[in-house]
Structure 1
Amino acid sequence: MALAIRDVREHDLDAVLALNNTAGRSILALDAERLRYFYDCADYFRVAEIDGQLAGFLIALREGSDYASSNYRWFATHYPSFVYIDRIVIANAYRRHGLGRVFYCDVTSFAEVRVPLLTCEVFLEPRDDVVLLFHGTYGFQEVGQQRMPAAGPLVSLLAKELPSFAYVRETYLDHGGLPAEPWLAERQRPAHSGPSVGETHS
């Protein structure tokens, strides 16, 4: 089994959209416009390929985005610098095989050289103990709760401190920036950017 984690490409978007919208009730649906916003604006948008097949994806944004999600905005009002995981989706055929942890390791590697905090939220309605346990064992702590708009579900707002960031900041970011290594590079986004969009989170 050959696994590759790579930045999303434009030709992946139809497959990403289909995967998102068949993921079940724990993932809010996307439309093409909202997915295009992520393609244009997300700081982290990577897909997993297994033997050439799309097996999953993860989307994350840094602070300073115009993203209108109430959960993203909660973190923006409480923390000056963070990476926010908007959604992770794994295809049914590849669930319970550790791919979620692979993605979380990858997004942590992305985040810890840029920010002191990795954030996300999980639904408490309906409660999913597997998801809660996954995040708890990965080092996330609850920092708040809120109900999503339009009488939406109650969510637990989670944050994970990234202790490596202090070293990276003091050694590199305060002294000219990160080394010019491919694994440290920013995602190459399209030159144009989309409009702000509303609630789309998982």
Structure 2
Amino acid sequence: MALAIRDVREHDLDAVLALNNAAGRSILAIDAAQLRFFYEHADYFRVAEIDGELAGFLIAMREGRDYESPNYRWFSSHYPQFLYIDRIVIANAFRRHGLGRIFYCDVTSYAEVRVPLLACEVFLEPRDDVVVLFHGTYGFQEVGQQRMGDSGPQVSLLAKDLPSYGYVRDTYLEHGQLPAEPWLAERLHPTTEPHA
């Protein structure tokens, strides 16, 4: 089994949309325009391929984005710097193989050299104890709760401190920038990608 975690490409978007909207009630459905917004603005948008097949994806955004999610807005009003995991979806055929943990390791590696906090939420209605336990064992703590809209589900707002960030900030970010290494590079957005 060959696994690759890589930045999303435009030709992946139809498959990502189908995967998102087949995920069930634990993931909010989106349309093509919303997915395009993520493609153009998300700081972290990576997919997992297993033997060439799309197996999952994770989308995350830093503070300061023009994003209307009530959960993202909650973190924006409470924390000056963070990376917010908007959604993670794993295809049914690839669940229970540790792909969620692989994604969380990757997004943590991305975040800890940029921000002091990794944030997300989990639905409490319906409550999924596997998801709650996963986040708890990965170091997330509940920092709040809210209802999504007037009649939406109750969510638990979770955050994880990234202690490595202090060292990176003091050693690199306050004196310039991160080293020019491929694994530290920012995602190329469509507006910054070189033209063929």
**TM-score, normalised by the number of residues in structure 2:** 0.97
Secondary structure of the corresponding residue to residue 29 of structure 1: coil
| Structure 1 stretches of at least 4 aligned residues deviating more than 3 Å after TM superposition | none
Secondary structure of the corresponding residue to residue 89 of structure 2: strand
Question: In the alignment, what sits opposite 1:177?
Answer: 177
Secondary structure of the corresponding residue to residue 80 of structure 1: coil
For these two proteins, the number of residue pairs brought into alignment is 192
Secondary structure of the corresponding residue to residue 45 of structure 2: strand
Secondary structure of the corresponding residue to residue 118 of structure 2: strand
| Mapping of residues 134-145 of structure 1, within 5 Å | 134-145=134-145
Whole-Å separation in 1 of the counterparts to 2:28 and 2:165: 31
Whole-Å separation in 1 of the counterparts to 2:150 and 2:60: 24
The residue type equivalent to 1:180 in the other structure is A
The residue type equivalent to 1:19 in the other structure is L
| Mapping of residues 1-202 of structure 1, within 5 Å | 1-191=1-191
The residue type equivalent to 2:72 in the other structure is Y
Q: Could you give the per-residue CA deviations for residues 115-142 of structure 1, whole angstroms, max 9, x where no partner exists?
A: 0000000000000000000000000000
Gaps of 5+ in 2: none
**TM-score, normalised by the number of residues in structure 1:** 0.94
Whole-Å separation in 2 of the counterparts to 1:171 and 1:180: 15
Whole-Å separation in 1 of the counterparts to 2:22 and 2:81: 32
Whole-Å separation in 2 of the counterparts to 1:149 and 1:140: 24
Q: Could you give the per-residue CA deviations for residues 46-95 of structure 1, whole angstroms, max 9, x where no partner exists?
A: 00000000000000000000000000000000000000000000000000
Whole-Å separation in 2 of the counterparts to 1:108 and 1:179: 18
Whole-Å separation in 2 of the counterparts to 1:150 and 1:37: 25
Whole-Å separation in 2 of the counterparts to 1:143 and 1:96: 27
Whole-Å separation in 1 of the counterparts to 2:94 and 2:100: 10
Whole-Å separation in 2 of the counterparts to 1:95 and 1:80: 34
Secondary structure of the corresponding residue to residue 60 of structure 1: strand
The structural deviation recorded for 1:3 is 0.2
Secondary structure of the corresponding residue to residue 145 of structure 2: strand
Identity over aligned pairs, percent:
82
The residue type equivalent to 1:31 in the other structure is D
The structural deviation recorded for 1:191 is 1.3
Q: Could you give the per-residue CA deviations for residues 136-193 of structure 1, whole angstroms, max 9, x where no partner exists?
A: 000000000000013100000000000000000000001111000000000000118x
- Aligned Cα RMSD in Å? 0.7
Choose between structure 1 and 2 for higher RCO, CA contacts under 8 A separated by at least 6 residues. 1
Secondary structure of the corresponding residue to residue 4 of structure 1: strand
The residue type equivalent to 2:59 in the other structure is I
Whole-Å separation in 2 of the counterparts to 1:124 and 1:141: 14
